[in-house]
Amino acid sequence: MLASTQPSSLVSQEIYTASSNATTSASSSNSTTNGENNVNTNNNLSECLTASSSTTPPSYFLLYYWTILYTYITNIFSKSTARLRRHSTGEHAYMAQTPVSTDTNNNINNNTNNNNSPQQPLRRSPRFKSKRQLQQQIASSSVDNISSPKAANSSIRLRNNSKQVHQSSMTSTQSFMMKTKTLILDLDETLIHSTSRGSRADAHMIEVMVDNHACLYYVYKRPHVDHFLKKVSEWYKVVIFTASMPEYADPVIDWLDPNKNLICNRFFRQSCTNRNGAYIKDLTIVEPDLSKVCLIDNSPISYAMQQENGIAIEGWISDPHDEALLDLLPFLDALRFTEDVRSILSLATY
C-alpha cells in the first residue's frame, strides 16, 4: 500500500512544483513587461492566479478582471462628462438669463413710466441734429485746421444746416407769437385823465391850440397803465380809438408810447359816428372781421353799434389805488386764444 501511494504523491508534488515554477515565471515576465506597476499587486495577482488555476479556467478570471477595469473607466468618464456638462449648462443659463431680466426690467419700467409719468416727447430722427449740436460741431471744425476741400465742404454744409435750423425756429416762434386779435382802447378816463387845472409837479403838461388860442392841459396816467400797455402789446395789435381831437390826442399817445412800439394805429373824432351829440365808434373801420376785435371803453355808448365786442371798465379820475387795468389782464390773456371773441363777450361774465 505504501509503495503504491508513494509515486502518486510524487507526481502531485512534481505537478505542484511545475505549476508553481510556471506561475513564478509568468509573474516574473509580467513584472518585466509592466515595470511601472507595484510589486505587491503583482504578488497578489500571482496568488489569485495560482488559487484559481486549480479550480477555474483562465478565461473566467480574465473576464472578471476586464469587467472591473471597464466599470472603473466608465465611472471616471461619466464623472468627467457630468462635470463638463454642468459647467457648460451653467454658462448657457447665465448668458440666457441676462437679456431676459433686462427685457423684463425694461417692460416694467416702460409700464410704470406710461402709467405714472407724463407722455414724453417724440425723439428726433438721428439725421436731424439740434441747434446746439450743430454749433458745437461748427466751433470744433473752426478750431481744427481744414486740410482738404472735402473738410471745407463739410464745414460749409454744417453752417448751412445751422442757419436752416435757426430760421425754422424763428419762423415757428413767430407763427406762435403771431398777433391775430385786435384790442381797441379808449383814451380819456380809460388810460389817462386830463384837466385844465392841476399841479405841475405830478402831471404831464400838453399845450393845445384851439381856435388860435393856446390851452394847457394837465394829463395824469391811470395806475399801472405802462405795465398794462406793455403786456397787451405782446398779445394783441393795440389801437387807440378816441373821440378827442388829434391836436390833443396825438401828444398824449406819444407820451404813453415814446418808443412807438406799443400802439399800432390811432383813430380820432373824425372816425366816430355822431348820433344826437354822442360819438359812437364803428369797429369795422379798425377790423372788418368782428370775431377778432374788442373795445375797452368806460362809456357803453361808444360800442353801441357792436355791443358784443365791448368790454366795460370803470372810469378813472384820481384814485391812486385803482387796479382795474390789472384785473383785466388775465381775462385778456385768455380771450386771445378764442376763435370768436363775441362768444365770450356776449355772456357778459367778465
- Name the catalytic one among 103, 144, 186, 322: 186
For the chain, domain boundaries = 131-176, 182-192+222-345
- According to the model, what pLDDT value does residue 147 have? 47
Q: How far is CA 140 from each of CA 130, 146, 149, rounded to the nearest angstrom?
A: 16, 11, 17
CATH code of the domain made up of 182-192+222-345: 3.40.50.1000
The secondary structure of the chain, three-state, reads CHHHHHHHHHHHHHHHHHHHHHHHHHHHHHHHHCCCCCHHHHHHHHHHHHHHHCCCCHHHHHHHHHHHHHHHHHHHHHHHHHHHHHHHHHHHHHHHHHHHHHHHHHHHHHHHHHHHCCCCCCCCCCCCCCHHHHHHHHHHHHHCCCCCHHHHHHHHHHHHHHHHHHHHHHHHHHHHCCCCCEEEECCECCCEEEECCCCCCCCEEEEEEECCEEEEEEEEECCCHHHHHHHHHHHCEEEEECCCCHHHHHHHHHHHCCCCCCCCEEECHHHEEEECCEEEECHHHCCCCHHHEEEEECCHHHHCCCHHHEEECCCCCCCCCCCHHHHHHHHHHHHCCCCCCHHHHCCCCC
Active site residue 211: no
- Name the catalytic one among 144, 188, 322, 340: 188
pTM for this structure? 0.51
Active site residue 327: no
Q: What is the pLDDT along the chain (350 residues), one digit of tens a residue?
A: 333 444 444 334 444 444 444 444 444 444 444 444 444 544 554 554 444 444 445 567 777 778 888 888 888 888 878 877 776 665 555 455 544 444 445 554 555 455 444 454 444 444 445 666 666 776 665 545 444 455 555 556 556 656 555 554 454 344 445 789 999 999 999 999 999 887 767 788 998 887 788 889 999 999 999 999 999 999 999 999 999 999 999 999 999 999 999 999 999 999 999 998 899 999 999 999 999 999 999 999 999 999 999 999 999 998 999 999 999 999 999 999 999 999 999 886 54
- According to the model, what pLDDT value does residue 61 have? 73
| Edge-to-edge order in the sheet of strand 293-297 | 265-267, 237-241, 182-185, 293-297, 310-312
- According to the model, what pLDDT value does residue 237 have? 96
